[in-house]
Amino acid sequence: MRWASCQKRREKPGLQLICFPYAGAGASAYRQWADEFPEQIEVWVVHLPGRDQRISETPIRSLSCMVEATAAGLAPLLNAPFAFFGHSMGALLAFEIARLRRRAGLSLPAALAVSGHRAPHLPDPGPVIHDLPRQSFVAELIRLNGVSEGVDNQPELLEVLLPMLRADFAACENYRFVSEAPLPCPILAFGGAHDSEASVEQIAAWRKHTVGAFWLRIFPGNHFFLHTARRELLDYIAEHLGLAVAGSAMTLA
């Protein structure tokens, strides 16, 4: 059971970037990233149960269980300097794994990059959809751009996708934030200018969760700006991960 894979090995990576998927996504969401980052950044993609090569496994419906299982699966990888990136559900997962590692006295990411999700202490303003009847659930997914229009006419595909999607939405919708001290690592927070799921103010509220540097950047696009504005996003991440690593080295010196 492999919890993460490297997209492209680097000879002398300065940093591992661990990427966490959004609801309904797998490794393919980050398939072009390794080719567009500088040589010193080695991209790793997290594999959650119920998708990709783990499609035969039962998806996890609880974020806390997802956090514990993923953290344990990633532990052997996190020896070199590393950073986390997560979009939407992946942002929550990355944030909670960083907090779990702190509670366990383990090394923390050089930076935490969170994208397309309101700050975790803010309540979810949206309706609960994970337990809706099939037709209504699919309609909501289409509205959220989570699946393409016409997918409801592809029963075989839906048979594969729906258990994973329901599980991911259940994990997010049942998440309950527990207050802890802010993290010491820098946070990079990203949003889409026209994202109906996370406003600029809700993204900016991530500032509360670090005592380190905080960088906020809003890109053109909707909830999936990480695809439509990918080049600008990756350039910004690469530049600021470099600043975060340099800051960590100065702190340790």
Average pLDDT for 94-118: 97
**Is there a contact between 23 and 197 (Cβ–Cβ < 8 Å)?**
no
Average pLDDT for 214-221: 97
Write out pLDDT tens, residues 150-170. Answer: 565 676 777 778 899 999 999
The model carries a pTM of 0.92
Confidence at residue 158, expressed as pLDDT on a 0 to 100 scale: 75
Is 56 a catalytic site residue?
Answer: no
Could you give all domains of the chain from N- to C-terminal order, each with its CATH number?
Answer: 4-123+179-252 (3.40.50.1820)
Query: Between 89 and 250, whose confidence is greater?
Result: 89
Q: How confident is the model at residue 1 (pLDDT cuts 50, 70, 90)?
A: low
Mean pLDDT is highest, among 10-19, 23-32, 50-59, 182-191, for 182-191
pLDDT for 58 beyond 80: yes
Confidence at residue 41, expressed as pLDDT on a 0 to 100 scale: 94
Confidence at residue 141, expressed as pLDDT on a 0 to 100 scale: 85
Which listed residue (88, 148, 179, 199) is catalytic?
A: 88
pLDDT for 125 beyond 90: no
Confidence at residue 250, expressed as pLDDT on a 0 to 100 scale: 38
What is the strand order of the sheet 82-87 is part of? Answer: 4-6, 41-46, 15-20, 82-87, 112-115, 187-192, 214-219
Mean pLDDT of the chain: 90
Confidence at residue 251, expressed as pLDDT on a 0 to 100 scale: 41
Q: Which has the minimum average pLDDT: 91-105, 117-131, 171-185?
A: 117-131
Mean pLDDT is highest, among 66-75, 135-144, 155-164, 243-252, for 66-75
